[in-house]
C-alpha cells in the first residue's frame, strides 16, 4: 500500500542498457519512441532492470517529448499527454519502448486515476517519466513527435543562435534585429543620414542657404555712418579693381564706369564720395534724359525776386503816420540785394561712406584683408607649373593633316587660372579652322606650328598656332631688334629663335610696334635676320591654353605635318614608306669644311627642322669613311677627333679603312646652327628629332 515511505523512480532495463551500448558502439543514435502505461492490476509495483514488460499494460502512446533534464545530464525525461477521451484506469507503472520494440526503461508512479469524459470529468493529463542513465549524448531527443527529430547538440546550438550572447548592454537610438526579431546590434547615430534620412539638407548646406538668404546681393549699395568698410563690401571711390579678385561684382557692373585706362582684366568702381544719390527717372519724366549711373552737376531752379526801391524827399503825416512822397520822387530799378549763403545748394544731410557689396561672404567670416588677398592672387599667378603632363603621346602619319594627342593628365594654364584635365584624347585637323584645327588662317608649307590644348573647364580641345618667321634688324652686341613688321601678337617672355642669337632667347620687353628687346645680345650684325616666334593661339573667350607639341609641315601642295611620334617631351621623326619622310631629314651632306685638328667647320642652320622650343636635338652623323672622318659640334671651337676626351667633338666618326659608320647623340644647341665637317663624299648630318621644352 502506498504511503509516506513509498519510493518512486525509474531505470534503464537490462534490454535497454544493452541496446544503448550497442548503439554507442556503432555510433548510431538510440531512439526511444513509445511510452507504456499500466495499472499493475491494482498492486504497488517495484520496477526491476530485468523486466521485459509491465505487470498490466493499459495504454501505449507515441512520446510527445523526450529531453534531457536541465539540472542533470544523466537524467532522461519522457513525456506523453493523455487527452480527455483516454482513461478509465489507474496509472501505477510506466515504461519506454524504442523504435524497434525493445522494452528499454521502467518506472513506478504514485497511483493516479485518469477519468474519461464520459464519466463527467475529463482533463488533459501529462505523464512524465524520469530515467537515470549513464549518459544522454547519443540519445535521439524527440522534440515534436510529428515533425522534428534533433540531437541535444543541435537543440543547444539552435537556442543559442536565437539568443546570441555577448551583446553590450546599453541604451540605443537605432537597433538592428534579425528575421526573428532578436536584437543583433545597436548604435547611436549623430546625423540624420545615420538614421537613413536622406531627403533633407546637411548642416553645411543649411548654413550656406542661410548665409545666402540673409546676405545682400552683390551690387547692393549701403551707406555706413563710420569710416569702416564691412566685410564683403568695397568703398565706392572710383578705384580700379581686378576681375579675378571680384568676379561677381565685375559681372554685375560690367564696364559701366570704365574710363578706358583700367587695363586688361580690370574694372572701375563708381565714384560716390561727396555725392548725393538720386533715383533714376526710368521713364517717369521728372528727370528726363538721364542715363543710368550718369553724373549730374548741381543746379538751382530758375526763379525771380522782384522789388522797386523809391528814392526822393517827403514829409511824414502825423495823422496817418504815412510817408508822402514828393512829386519829384522816382523808382530805382535794377538794384540787387546783398549776397548770402555758401558755395553750393544742399539740404541738411549726414556724411556717410557709400559702399557696394562685392562678394557674398559666409556668416561671421571676420575681416578679410583685401590687399593681402590681391597680393596672394598675384603671387599665385606668377607660379610656374613644372610638370604639365602625364603619359603624353602625340603622333602624325605623314599622310594626312591630322595630329593625334592623348594623355592621362594635362595641366593647362598657370597660376590661379590653371586647370587639370584627365584622360585626354584629342586631335587637330590642320585643314580646319578654330578649336580642333588652326586658330587662324590656312596651313602653310614648310612652316612650324605649335600644338596647344585649350579648356574653359567644361570643354577641352586641341588647336594649332603658327610660329611665324619675321624679319628684323640686329646689331652685334645689342639686344635690340628693330624694323619688325608688327609686335601686336608678342608678349614678354615669348621664345624665339635665330641663327644669330643664343638658343633659348626670349622677349625681354616690347618697346614699340616695330621694336623689341631680347634677353640676350645678338651674335652678329644682320640687316634682315629671320626670327621664328612662338606665337600663342587665338582662343575663344573664357579659354586658357598650354602648348604640348611642335611640328613642321612638308613642302608639298598637301602641306601635311612631317611624320613624327612624341612620347612626353621627346619628338622623333618617323621615316617610312607612304609618309612624307622616306629617310631621316638631312641638314648637310658630302664633303664639308676640313676635318684636320682643329677642324674647319661649316655652319648648318637647324631652324627648318628644330622649333625654338627645343631644348636638345638628336643628330646622326653617318658616312662611308676611309682615312677620313665626319664631325658635328654645337660651336666651332671644338677640336674635332682627339685622344683627349675633354677636347673631342661630341659627335664624330672615323675609320682607317673604307667602311660605313654612323653615330647618334643628343646635342644641347648653343645657337641656331650646328657645325659640321666631313672628308667623305658619301656622308651626312641628319636630324632624328628633338626634346621639346613643354
Model confidence at 142, pLDDT cuts 50, 70, 90, reads: very low
**Per-residue pLDDT tens for 178-213?**
877 777 888 888 887 777 787 777 777 777 776 665
Model confidence at 158, pLDDT cuts 50, 70, 90, reads: low
Give pLDDT, residue 189.
Answer: 87
What does the block give as the cell for 39? 495499472
Same domain assignment for residues 619 and 480:
no
Distance CA 616, CA 673 (A): 13
Q: With respect to residue 64, please indicate whether it lies within any of the assigned structural domains.
A: yes
Is the pLDDT reported for residue 363 higher than 50? Answer: no
Angle made by CA atoms 20, 22, 26, in degrees to the nearest 5: 115
Same domain assignment for residues 17 and 119:
yes
Give pLDDT, residue 619.
Answer: 94
Reduced to 3 DSSP states, what percent helix, strand and coil does the chain have, rounded to the nearest 5? 10, 35, 55
pTM of the model: 0.48
For the domain that residue 625 is a member of, what is the CATH number? Answer: 2.60.120
Same domain assignment for residues 129 and 16:
yes
Same domain assignment for residues 494 and 421:
no
What does the block give as the cell for 186? 545597436
Residue from 464, 607, 606 nearest 549 by CA: 464
Residue pair 359/248 in contact (Cβ under 8 Å)? The answer is: yes
Residue pair 686/678 in contact (Cβ under 8 Å)? The answer is: no
Q: With respect to residue 289, please indicate whether it lies within any of the assigned structural domains.
A: no
Q: With respect to residue 490, please indicate whether it lies within any of the assigned structural domains.
A: yes
Most confident of 122-136, 308-322, 552-566, 614-628: 552-566
Residue pair 463/439 in contact (Cβ under 8 Å)? The answer is: yes
For residue 101, give the 3-state DSSP assignment: coil
The label of the residue with cell 564683403 reads 232
Is the pLDDT reported for residue 161 higher than 70? Answer: no
Distance CA 479, CA 682 (A): 41
Give pLDDT, residue 300.
Answer: 78
Phi, psi of 152 (to 5 degrees): -60, -40
Q: With respect to residue 176, please indicate whether it lies within any of the assigned structural domains.
A: no
Residues, the chain, total? 694
Same domain assignment for residues 406 and 552:
yes
Where on the phi/psi map is residue 185: left (φ > 0), alpha (ψ -120 to 50), or beta?
beta
Give pLDDT, residue 333.
Answer: 57
**Per-residue pLDDT tens for 210-265?**
666 556 888 999 999 899 888 889 999 999 999 999 998 999 999 999 999 999 99
What does the block give as the cell for 265? 582684366
For residue 192, give every residue at least 6 positions away whose Cβ sits within 8 Å of its Cβ, in sequence order, or none.
198, 200
Residue after which a domain boundary falls, among 232, 253, 273: 273
Distance CA 77, CA 135 (A): 13
Distance CA 553, CA 311 (A): 103
Residue pair 612/532 in contact (Cβ under 8 Å)? The answer is: yes
Query: Residue 594's domain spans which residues?
Result: 584-692
Where on the phi/psi map is residue 230: left (φ > 0), alpha (ψ -120 to 50), or beta?
beta
The predicted model gives 118-127 an average pLDDT of: 81
For residue 564, give the 3-state DSSP assignment: strand
Ranges of beta strands (E only) in 84-202 are: 89-98, 103-114, 125-132, 141-142, 149-150, 174-177, 183-187
In angstroms, how far is CA 291 from the centroid of its own chain?
A: 46
Ranges of beta strands (E only) in 14-150 are: 32-38, 57-62, 65-68, 75-82, 89-98, 103-114, 125-132, 141-142, 149-150
The label of the residue with cell 601642295 reads 557
Model confidence at 143, pLDDT cuts 50, 70, 90, reads: very low
Same domain assignment for residues 419 and 548:
yes
**Per-residue pLDDT tens for 148-157?**
334 444 456 5
Phi, psi of 412 (to 5 degrees): -110, 130
Same domain assignment for residues 644 and 594:
yes
Most confident of 210-219, 341-350, 676-685: 676-685
Residue from 606, 613, 657, 655 nearest 632 by CA: 606
CA dihedral (346, 350, 353, 359) in degrees, to 10, reads -110
Give pLDDT, residue 320.
Answer: 46
Same domain assignment for residues 138 and 224:
no
Give pLDDT, residue 328.
Answer: 52
Same domain assignment for residues 451 and 485:
no
Q: With respect to residue 242, please indicate whether it lies within any of the assigned structural domains.
A: yes
Residue after which a domain boundary falls, among 220, 240, 273: 273
Q: With respect to residue 355, please indicate whether it lies within any of the assigned structural domains.
A: no
Q: How many domains does the chain have?
A: 5
Q: With respect to residue 343, please indicate whether it lies within any of the assigned structural domains.
A: no
Same domain assignment for residues 622 and 652:
yes
Residue from 261, 264, 258, 260 nearest 242 by CA: 264
What does the block give as the cell for 552? 613642321
What does the block give as the cell for 64? 510527445
Residue pair 308/330 in contact (Cβ under 8 Å)? The answer is: no
Model confidence at 396, pLDDT cuts 50, 70, 90, reads: very high
Residue pair 460/453 in contact (Cβ under 8 Å)? The answer is: yes
Give pLDDT, residue 149.
Answer: 37
In angstroms, how far is CA 578 from the centroid of its own chain?
A: 44
Give pLDDT, residue 347.
Answer: 80
Same domain assignment for residues 448 and 552:
yes
Is the pLDDT reported for residue 103 higher than 70? Answer: yes
Give pLDDT, residue 212.
Answer: 63
Residue after which a domain boundary falls, among 232, 252, 273: 273
Is the pLDDT reported for residue 29 higher than 50? Answer: yes
Cis ω for the linkage preceding 598 (within 30 of 0)? yes
- Output the CA torsion sign for 188, 194, 197, 199: positive
What does the block give as the cell for 617? 636635338
Q: What is the DSSP letter of 384?
A: -
Ranges of H-type helices in 38-111: none
Is the pLDDT reported for residue 382 higher than 90? Answer: no
Q: Taking all residues of the chain, what is their mean pLDDT, rounded to a whole number?
A: 84
Q: With respect to residue 378, please indicate whether it lies within any of the assigned structural domains.
A: no
**How many CA atoms lie less than 13 Å away from 325 in the CB half-sphere?**
9
CA R_g for the chain? 55
**How many CA atoms lie less than 13 Å away from 123 in the CB half-sphere?**
8
Phi, psi of 203 (to 5 degrees): -60, -45
The predicted model gives 548-560 an average pLDDT of: 95
What does the block give as the cell for 609? 627642322
Which one is predicted more confidently, 382 or 128?
A: 128
Beta partners for 276?
A: none
Residue from 694, 70, 667 nearest 685 by CA: 667
Give pLDDT, residue 646.
Answer: 47
Distance CA 415, CA 381 (A): 4
**How many CA atoms lie less than 13 Å away from 100 in the CB half-sphere?**
10
Ranges of H-type helices in 5-73: 14-26
Which one is predicted more confidently, 294 or 226?
A: 226
Q: What is the DSSP letter of 537?
A: P
Lowest mean pLDDT among 8-22, 127-141, 208-222, 472-486: 127-141
Same domain assignment for residues 501 and 413:
no
Amino acid at each position: 500500500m502506498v504511503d509516506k515511505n513509498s519510493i518512486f523512480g525509474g531505470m534503464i532495463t537490462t534490454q535497454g542498457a544493452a541496446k544503448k551500448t550497442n548503439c554507442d558502439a556503432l555510433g548510431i543514435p538510440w531512439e526511444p519512441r513509445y511510452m507504456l502505461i499500466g495499472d499493475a492490476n491494482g498492486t504497488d509495483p517495484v520496477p526491476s532492470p530485468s523486466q521485459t514488460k509491465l505487470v498490466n499494460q493499459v495504454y501505449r502512446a507515441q512520446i510527445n517529448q523526450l529531453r534531457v533534464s536541465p539540472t542533470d545530464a544523466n537524467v532522461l525525461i519522457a513525456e506523453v499527454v493523455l487527452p480527455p477521451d483516454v482513461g478509465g484506469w489507474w496509472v501505477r507503472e510506466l515504461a519506454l519502448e524504442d523504435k524497434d520494440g525493445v522494452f528499454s526503461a521502467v518506472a513506478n508512479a504514485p497511483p493516479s486515476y485518469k477519468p474519461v469524459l464520459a464519466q463527467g470529468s475529463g482533463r488533459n493529463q501529462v505523464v512524465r517519466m524520469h530515467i537515470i542513465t549513464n549518459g544522454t549524448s547519443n540519445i535521439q531527443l524527440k522534440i515534436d513527435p510529428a515533425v522534428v527529430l534533433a540531437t541535444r547538440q543541435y537543440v543547444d546550438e539552435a537556442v543559442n543562435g536565437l539568443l546570441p550572447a555577448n551583446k553590450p548592454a546599453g541604451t540605443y537610438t537605432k537597433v538592428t534585429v534579425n528575421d526573428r526579431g532578436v536584437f543583433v546590434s545597436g548604435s547611436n547615430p549623430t546625423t540624420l543620414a545615420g538614421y537613413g534620412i536622406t531627403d533633407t539638407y546637411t548642416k553645411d548646406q543649411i548654413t550656406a542657404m542661410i548665409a545666402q538668404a540673409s546676405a545682400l546681393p552683390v551690387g547692393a549699395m549701403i551707406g555706413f555712418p563710420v569710416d569702416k568698410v564691412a566685410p564683403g563690401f568695397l568703398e565706392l571711390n572710383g578705384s580700379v579693381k581686378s576681375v579675378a579678385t571680384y568676379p561677381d561684382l565685375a559681372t554685375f557692373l560690367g564696364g559701366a564706369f570704365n574710363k578706358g585706362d583700367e587695363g586688361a582684366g580690370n574694372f572701375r568702381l563708381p565714384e560716390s564720395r561727396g555725392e548725393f544719390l538720386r533715383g533714376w527717372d526710368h521713364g517717369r519724366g521728372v528727370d528726363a534724359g538721364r542715363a543710368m549711373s550718369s553724373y549730374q552737376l548741381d543746379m538751382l531752379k530758375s526763379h525771380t525776386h522782384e522789388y522797386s526801391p523809391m528814392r526822393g524827399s517827403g514829409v511824414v503825416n502825423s495823422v496817418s503816420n504815412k510817408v508822402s512822397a514828393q512829386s519829384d520822387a522816382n523808382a530805382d530799378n535794377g538794384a540787387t540785394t546783398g549776397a548770402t549763403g555758401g558755395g553750393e545748394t544742399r539740404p541738411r544731410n549726414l556724411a556717410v561712406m557709400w559702399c557696394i557689396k562685392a562678394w557674398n561672404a559666409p556668416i561671421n567670416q571676420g575681416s578679410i584683408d583685401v590687399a593681402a588677398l590681391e597680393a596672394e592672387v598675384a603671387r599665385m599667378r606668377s607660379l610656374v607649373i613644372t610638370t604639365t603632363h602625364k603619359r603624353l603621346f602625340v603622333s602624325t602619319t605623314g599622310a594626312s593633316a591630322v595630329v593625334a594627342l592623348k594623355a592621362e593628365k594635362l595641366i593647362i594654364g598657370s597660376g590661379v587660372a590653371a586647370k587639370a584635365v584627365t584622360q585626354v584624347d584629342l586631335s587637330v585637323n590642320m585643314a580646319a579652322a578654330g578649336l580642333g584645327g588652326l586658330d587662324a588662317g590656312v596651313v602653310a608649307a614648310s612652316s612650324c606650328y605649335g600644338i596647344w590644348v585649350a579648356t574653359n573647364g567644361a570643354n577641352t580641345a586641341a588647336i594649332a598656332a603658327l610660329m611665324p618667321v619675321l624679319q628684323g634688324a640686329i646689331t652685334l652686341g645689342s639686344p635690340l631688334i628693330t624694323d619688325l613688321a608688327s609686335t601686336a601678337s608678342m608678349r614678354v617672355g615669348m621664345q624665339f629663335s635665330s641663327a644669330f642669337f643664343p638658343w633659348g632667347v626670349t622677349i625681354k620687353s616690347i618697346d614699340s610696334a616695330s621694336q623689341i628687346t631680347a634677353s640676350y645680345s645678338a651674335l652678329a650684325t644682320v640687316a634682315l635676320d629671320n626670327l621664328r616666334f612662338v606665337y600663342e593661339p587665338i582662343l575663344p573667350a573664357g579659354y586658357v591654353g598650354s602648348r604640348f607639341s611642335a611640328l613642321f609641315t612638308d613642302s608639298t601642295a598637301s602641306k601635311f605635318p612631317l611624320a613624327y611620334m612624341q612620347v612626353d617631351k621627346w619628338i622623333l621623326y618617323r621615316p617610312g614608306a607612304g609618309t612624307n619622310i622616306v629617310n631621316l631629314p638631312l641638314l648637310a651632306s658630302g664633303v664639308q669644311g676640313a676635318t684636320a685638328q682643329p677642324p674647319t667647320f661649316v655652319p648648318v642652320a637647324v631652324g627648318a627642322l628644330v622649333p625654338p622650343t627645343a631644348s636638345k636635338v638628336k643628330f646622326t652623323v653617318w658616312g662611308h669613311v676611309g682615312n677620313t672622318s665626319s664631325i658635328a659640334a654645337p660651336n666651332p671651337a671644338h677640336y674635332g677627333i682627339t685622344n683627349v676626351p675633354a677636347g673631342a667633338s661630341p659627335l664624330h666618326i672615323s675609320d682607317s679603312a673604307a667602311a660605313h659608320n654612323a653615330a647618334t647623340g643628343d646635342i644641347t644647341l648653343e645657337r641656331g646652327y650646328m657645325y659640321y665637317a666631313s672628308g667623305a663624299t658619301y656622308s651626312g648630318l641628319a636630324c632624328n628629332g628633338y626634346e621639346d621644352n613643354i
